[in-house]
Amino acid sequence: MIQGTGSSVGKSIITAALCRVFKEDGYKTAPFKSQNMALNSYVTKNGEEMGRAQVVQAEAAGIDPMVEMNPILLKPTSEVGSQVILMGRVHKNLTASEYRKEVPNIKGIVDKAYKKLSNDFDVIVIEGAGSPAEINLRENDLVNMGLAELVDSPVVLVGDIERGGVFASLYGTVMILEPSERARIKGFIINKFRGDIEILKPGIKMLEDKINIPCLGVLPYFDLKIDDEDSVTSKFTNNKNNDINIGVVKLPYVSNFSDFTPLEMEDRVSVKYITEEEGFENIDLLIIPGSKNTIKDMEFIIKSRLDRIIYKKHKEGIPIIGICGGYQMLGYEILDPKGIESSMKQINGLGLMKTQTIIQEVKDTKQVKGIIANNPINNLEIETEIINGYEIHMGQTKRFDKCKPFIELEDGRFDGAVSETGLVFGTYLHGIFENDNFRTKLIKLLIAKKGLNIDSKSLNFKELKDIEYQKLSETVRKYLNIEEIKKISGLYR
C-alpha cells in the first residue's frame, strides 16, 4: 500500500509505476483505491463509474479497468457535500458528516471488492488518500491505515520534497500513528527531488535512524504526460503559447479534465485553463468542459462575466465546443425541476445553440460508439468518422429548429448538437479527443486557418500513453529499490 504525508505527494503516479513494474516482471497486477474523491471519472464496459486515477493504473498494469478497483467514488457537488457512488452506481448525495455515519455499512462493500481482486491477481498495489496522520478521521477510516489493517497490507510512505519540510512531514506522520500502525510502514520514498543527491543523503540517514524505517529511494522531478489524480493542479497553471492555443474554461466544478490530455500531447498545441479575460487572448478554439454541477458553473460564468468574453470570441469566429455539462451550457436554458443539482430550478444558458436541458434523477453511464452525423466547422470533413467515448450525465438535452445532431450512436440515439453556422457544437461523449482521426483533423483545420504549415504527424494516443508508462517504469527502476519493494510485498522472502 502506498500512503502519503499529504495530498498531491505522488501516490497515484507511484502506484501506477509499481503496477507497470510488476506487470513487466510477469505478475498479474491490479490497482486498488477503496475511496476516491475526484471529479475525474470513467465508465467501464459494464457502465459502472469509477475514478480516473485507477483507470490509468489499470492501463499501466495492462488490464481493463474494473469497478472493484475503486468501489467508492465521492464526487463533490458543493463545499460540504458529495454524490456518493458505490460500485459504479449512484447511491445518494451526502454531506461529510452524513457520509461518516454510513461508513460502517459501506465497509463490507470495500472488503468484498478487495477480495475479488485478491482472488484474481498476484499483486494488488493499493493507493491511500490524503494522509494517515489525520487522526481525527481514524475511527471510520477505510482508505489509509484502516484499510491496511482490514486487508493486512504493508505500507510504503511517500513524502514530497518539492513543497519543503519533507523530513518533518515523514517523521511527523510516522510518530503520530499508533505503534501497530507504525509497524506497518516498511519503507519511505522521497518524491519530486531536484538537486544534488549527495547533499540530501545525510538527512536521509538521520531520518532513518530516528524512525527506524529504511529509505527505498529518491525519485527526481520529471515530466510525464500521464493523468493522475492531482495533475489538475499543474494543468490549471499552464499559460504557454504554441502554434495552436486551445482555451478550456476553468469551472469551479470542472469534471473529467482528462478529456484534454490527448490535446496536450500534441506537439503543436497548447491547452490553457482560463478564468480571466487575459487568458482568452490568442486562442484558436474554446472548450467548455464537463461539470459536476452545471447550474452552479453556469451561474459562475454569468457572475464572473465570462459569458461576455465567450460571446466576443464567438463573434470573432472562434469555434466553441461543449463537453457534457459544457454542452448543456451552450443551450438557451437548463432546468432542474426536482432540485437535483441545486435549489435553482432554472438558469439561462449561453444561448449559442437552440437546445434545452432538463436535469434528471437517473444518471446515464455507458460506453458508446457512433459516427459523425453532421460536420461541424466548415471544411472539417469528418462526416461518417467513427467515434468512441463514454457518457456520464444526469440530464437530457433537446434540439430545436435547425440545430442538428452531432453523432449518430450505434443504439439508434443521436448525441450532441451542431449550430446552424457549425462554429458551435457539443457532445455528451467524454474521451472524444482520444479518437485519433477526429483530433488530428480538428487540429489540422485550426493550423490551416492560421495559414501555418499543415504538415504534422498523426499521433496514436494509445501508443503515446504506453510510451509514457514505459518511461515511468524505467525511472522508478532506476531510482527505487524495486527488489526491496518486492520483498515487502511478500513476492519472495
What's the rounded Cα separation, in Å, for the pair 214 and 478? 17
Kindly give the confidence (pLDDT) of every residue in the chain, 493 residues in length, as a single tens digit, with 9 standing for 90 and above.
999 999 999 999 999 999 999 999 999 999 999 999 988 899 999 999 999 999 999 999 999 999 999 999 999 877 668 899 999 999 988 988 899 888 888 999 999 999 999 999 999 999 999 999 999 988 889 999 999 999 999 999 999 999 899 999 999 999 999 999 999 999 999 999 998 999 999 999 999 999 999 999 999 998 888 875 544 445 555 556 788 999 999 999 998 989 999 999 888 999 999 988 888 989 999 999 999 899 999 999 999 999 999 999 999 999 999 999 999 999 999 999 988 887 889 999 999 999 999 998 888 999 999 999 888 886 677 767 899 999 999 899 999 988 999 999 999 999 999 998 899 999 999 999 999 999 998 999 999 888 888 776 678 999 999 999 999 999 999 999 999 999 999 987 5
Same fold, 2-226+466-488 and 244-451: yes
What's the rounded Cα separation, in Å, for the pair 229 and 36? 9
- CATH, domain range 2-226+466-488: 3.40.50.300
In this structure, are residues 403 and 347 in contact, taking their beta carbons and an 8 Å threshold? no
Residue with cell 490509468: 56
Beta strands per DSSP E along 313-405: 320-323, 333-335, 346-348, 355-372, 386-399
Q: Which residues are catalytic?
A: 324, 430
Which amino acid belongs to residue 27?
Answer: Y
Domain residue limits, the chain: 2-226+466-488, 244-451
Instruction: Tell the CATH topology of 244-451.
Output: Rossmann fold (3.40.50)
Neighbour tally for 237: CB within 10 Å:
9
Whose CA is closest to 15, among 155, 164, 168, 184? 155
What's the rounded Cα separation, in Å, for the pair 82 and 7? 18
Q: What is the pTM of this model?
A: 0.91
